[in-house]
Amino acid sequence: MTSDHEITEGLRKLGIEVMDLESMKREVRIVRQIGKGTEGDVLLVLFRGEKAAMKVGSFGYPFLMRQVEVMAKVDGAGGAPRVYAACSDRPVILMEYCEGTTLDKFYAIASPADRIRIECDLRTKVVELNAAGYGHGDLNFSNILVCGRPGEHEVRLIDFGNAALMSSRNKNSDLLVIEKRIKFLQAGCDD
């Protein structure tokens, strides 16, 4: 089994800044909680004066750091958040804050034209992520954010806790799942 130290070294090699919790605390100011998922809490923080999302994992160090590895490797594909820093002694990471709303909430109030645009962008982002070598594996609404100003909306896929290297096993899974999600959204609106 890979030790936490080996994981940390791997992250450093991927160009991720690694620091201990005490150093991270000095650089961070908590603004508010933005998410509570199965894997832990997500906080909006100021990191060196800039907005960032801080994920505090509850499934242990290797689990969260694997997500960091995936985010670093896909390098923004699918709108994946950029990683700013990872903690060396706790399952805590700092990443780009994707300010926006979940796809279902966006869809509920979007114009028909915006809905079509965002459906297309969702497909594009999934294809982009898959082309970068990873299947997401958990494309529920809370992991699909719509960000950006009106008219410039774009999809950002987050939460790489179930991501896996593309293989014959997950080849079309993400695409099948999002088609189901899109159908579900379309069925809920009658205009």
Ligand X SMILES: Nc1ncnc2c1ncn2[C@@H]1O[C@H](COP(=O)(O)OP(=O)(O)O)[C@@H](O)[C@H]1O
Q: In this complex, which beta carbon is closest to ligand X, that of residue 142 or of residue 173?
A: 142
Count of residues touching ligand X (by CB under 6 A): 19
Residue among 102, 91, 132, 89 at smallest CA distance from 34: 102
In whole angstroms, give the CA distance from residue 66 to residue 162.
Answer: 10
Residue span 93-132 as binding mask against Mg ion, x where in contact by CB under 5 A, dash where not: ----------------------------------------
In whole angstroms, give the CA distance from residue 1 to residue 99.
Answer: 36
The label of the residue with tokens 């991270």 reads 24
Radius of gyration of the chain, Cα coordinates, nearest whole angstrom: 17
| 53 lies in the site for ligand X, by CB under 6 A | yes
Residue among 163, 170, 137, 2 at smallest CA distance from 70: 163
Q: In this complex, which beta carbon is closest to ligand X, that of residue 54 or of residue 116?
A: 54
Residues that bind Mg ion (CB under 5 A): 37, 142-143, 159
Residues that bind ligand X (CB under 6 A): 34-35, 37-40, 42, 53, 55, 81, 95-98, 142-143, 158-159, 161
